[in-house]
A and B are shown apart, each in its own frame.
Chain A
Amino acid sequence: MKIAYILVSSMAVLFLIYAIHAYLTFEVNLQEVKEAVSLRNEAQANNIMQGLDKFIDERITDIRKISNSKRILDILSDSNREFSQIKDLESFLEQKESEIEFGQPNTTSDEIEEGELSKNLRDTITFYKDTYGYDVVEELFVTNRYGANIAWSAGKSDYVQSDEEWWQATKDRGAYVGKLEKQDYQRYSIPLAFRISNEQGDFLGVMRVVVSIDAILHEFVGEAEVIEAASKQVILLDENDRIIYSSGTKFESSSQPVAYFDKIVADNGHFELPNGIEESTFVSYSRSIGYGNFQGFGWTSVIEQSRSSLVTEFLDQRNSILFVSVLGMVASIIIGILVSFSVSRPLQKLSDMASRLSQGSFEIQIKKSRIYEIGVIDESFNDMARSLRKLIETERELVKTRIRVKNERLIAIGQLAASMAHDLKNPLATIRSSAEIIKRNSKTDDNELTEVIARMDRAIDRIAHQIEDVLNFVRTTPLDISDVSMQSVFQSSIKSLEIPQNISIELPRIDFTIRGDFRKLEVVFINLILNAVQAIGKDQGKIIIRMIKENGDLKINVEDTGPGIPNEIFPKIFDPLITTKERGTGLGLSTCKNIIEQHGGTISAKNTPTTFIMRLPENVI
Chain B
Amino acid sequence: MSSNKTILLVDDDIDLLENMAFLIKRMGYDVVTAENGEEAVSKYREIKPNLTVMDIKMPKMDGFDAFFKIKQQDGNAKVILITAYMVDQEKYQKAQNMSLIATINKPFTFDDIEDLIRQHV
Contact = CB atoms under 8 A, between A and B. Distances in A.
**Physical interaction between A and B:** yes
A437 B107 contact: no
Nearest to B13: A426
Interface string A338-375: 00000000000000000000000000000000000000
Contacts of B13: 426-427, 429-430
Interface in A388-438: 418, 421-422, 425-430, 432-434, 436-437
B118 interface: no
A428 B85 contact: no
Interface string B74-106: 000000000011110100000000000000001
A480 interface: yes
B47 interface: no
The 6 A-B residue pairs with the shortest CB-CB distance, nearest first, are A433-B19, A430-B16, A429-B107, A426-B13, A425-B106, A436-B110
Given A430-B13, A433-B19, 20 more contacts: A418-B85, A418-B86, A422-B57, A425-B85, A425-B106, A426-B106, A427-B15, A428-B106, A429-B16, A429-B107, A430-B15, A432-B109, A433-B110, A436-B19, A436-B109, A436-B110, A437-B22, A440-B26, A471-B85, A480-B89
A566 interface: no
A471 B83 CA distance: 13
A548 B85 CA distance: 34
Interface in A201-221: none
Interface centre among A421, A426, A429, A437 (most CB of B within 10 A): A429
B23 A433 contact: yes
A108 B99 CA distance: 182
A478 interface: yes
B40 to A, nearest CB: 17
In this complex, the interface size class of chain A, counting residues with CB under 8 Å from chain B, is 20 to 34
A504 B107 CA distance: 28
A436 B89 CA distance: 32
A220 to B, nearest CB: 135
B108 A429 contact: yes
A437 B85 contact: no
Interface in A512-556: none
A440 B24 CA distance: 12
Interface string B16-32: 10011011001000000
A477 interface: yes
A434 B22 CA distance: 10
22 contacts: A418-B85, A422-B57, A422-B84, A422-B85, A426-B13, A426-B106, A427-B13, A428-B106, A429-B13, A429-B108, A430-B16, A432-B108, A433-B20, A434-B19, A436-B110, A437-B19, A437-B22, A440-B23, A440-B26, A460-B107, A464-B107, A480-B89
B83 to A, nearest CB: 10
Nearest to B16: A430
Contact of B23 (A436, A464, A471, A478): A436
Contacts of B86: 418, 422, 475
Nearest to B93: A480
Contact of B110 (A422, A427, A432): A432
A433 B16 contact: yes
Nearest to B110: A436
Contacts of B84: 422, 425
Nearest to A471: B85
Interface string A463-492: 010010001000101101000000000000
A556 B19 CA distance: 43
A51 to B, nearest CB: 137
B23 A425 contact: no
Interface centre among B15, B23, B107 (most CB of A within 10 A): B107
A425 B107 contact: yes
Contacts of A471: 85
